[in-house]
Amino acid sequence: MRKNSIKNTRVNGEVQKELSVIIRDEIKDPRISPWASVVDVQVAPDLKTCKVWISVLGSEEDRVNTGKGLKSAAPYIRRELAHRLNLRNTPEITFVMDQSIEYGVNMSHIIDDVIAKDEAAHVDDSEDTTED
């Protein structure tokens, strides 16, 4: 199976969907944030390993605790994945924290602030020219 084959893409999508459901509904660990989401999944072509990118909206402490909770729940998650998907091998799961969503939200706030300051400066300039 080539890395970008249709089969690999389908396996990645199915694993991502099932992992999302397992993490959201099945795991009861209080360390795992309710704002955790599975952003991306890459299953190796031989189905032995799987990298899962997790995004957590919240503080750094929430991110660290969620990582610890997922790491300790990895055997359970793998077993549940084996029950739900009919794969030749059930991959070993490695969780990677992804901060791209939070980075995007922060950039959006920065852009909004710059636009607001620019509009305020533009209003101030137009008031100065009308007073003369």
For residue 5, report the phi and psi dihedrals to the nearest 5 degrees.
Answer: -70, 165
State the pLDDT at residue 129. Answer: 64
- Per-residue pLDDT of 15-32, as tens digits, reads 999 999 999 999 999 999
Neighbours of 14 (CB within 10 A): 17
Structure tokens at 124: 């101030």
In terms of Cβ atoms closer than 10 Å to its own Cβ (0-12, 13-18, 19+), residue 56 is buried
Distance between CA atoms of 50 and 42, rounded to whole angstroms?
A: 6
Distance between CA atoms of 47 and 3, rounded to whole angstroms?
A: 11
pTM of the prediction? 0.74
Mean pLDDT of 45-60: 91
